[in-house]
Amino acid sequence: MSRDGHALLVLSVTMPKGEWFDWHLHPENQFAWAADGMLTVQVGDATYVLPPSRALWIPAGTVHRTGAASTSSMHSVYFGGRQWGEPTVVAVGPLLAELIRYLADLTLPTAPRRRAEAVLRDLLVPVPVSTIHVPTVSSRLAPIAEALTDDPADDRDLAAWGRLVGASARTLARSFVAETGMTFGTWRTQVRLLASLPLLAAGMPVATVARRVGYATPSAFVAAFRRVTGTTPGTYFT
C-alpha cells in the first residue's frame, strides 16, 4: 500500500437503479463518485445522497453500503495516506471529474499518473452539509418503518399505527424513544427528509417534493428541512 497519499486505483462500474453493494469496508480510503446518476451511501444511521456534483470520502475501515438511487456510473478512487478521519462530502467540479476519468485509464504511465494524483488531492474540498439520520428500529416497529419508507406522506398517528402492529399508542411512543432516541414525530420527520433528498437531487421542484413526502405546504417542508440540516432544500446540493 502507498504511504504517501497517492491514489492506489480507480475502479468504475455501472450500477442499475436499486442495486446495492452490501455492508463492507475497505483497507484503503475510498472516494465514491457517480459521473452519471445518483449514489446513496449509508454509514451507520447516516445516509448520503450523491448526485454528480457531490462525492463521499469514506475513511479506511469504515463499514458502509452503497446503492444506486438511479442508474449510475460509479467511480471509486482508493487512496493511501489520510485525508479526513470521518465520512466527508466533497464538491466535484468539472476539473476533478475529468481527473477521475483520466486516472481511470489503467494504461496511464506512472509519471503523468503521479502528477494527476497530486492535483486531484488538492481539489478535494469538503462541503459543509448535515446528514440526515434515520435510526433503525426493531422488528416490532419494522412494519411502521416499511410503510413510511414506501409512502413518507402517510400521516397516520400512533393510535392508527398501534392498530396495525397490535400495541397501544403509549407503548409505541415509549418504544420509539427507547430504540431511536427520538419521538415518533421527530423520527418520521427524518424519514420524510431523507426521502426528499433523491427527489431534490434530481431537480424536482420543492413544492412537488414537499407534497410527495407529506407536507401540506412548501413552507412547512422548508422549515423542517432547515431545522434539521441547517440549510434550505434549494441550496443543499449547490
Q: Where are the domains of the chain?
A: 7-122, 136-229
For 135, the grid coordinates are 435510526
pLDDT-derived band at 9, boundaries 50, 70, 90: confident
pLDDT of res. 2 = 43
Please tell me the distance from the alpha carbon of residue 52 to that of residue 74, in angstroms, as a whole number: 10
Q: Which is higher by pLDDT, 41 or 130? A: 41
- Per CATH, the number for 7-122 is 2.60.120.280
- Mean pLDDT of the 174-195 span: 96
Query: Which superfamily, per CATH, for 136-229?
Result: Homeodomain-like (1.10.10.60)
CA angle 12, 99, 57 (to 5 degrees): 65
Q: Are strands 54-58 and 88-91 parallel, antiparallel or unpaired?
A: antiparallel
pTM of the model: 0.82
Choose among 71, 82, 1: nearest CA to 38: 71
Q: What is the pLDDT of residues 149-184, one digit of tens each?
A: 999 999 999 999 999 999 999 999 999 999 999 999
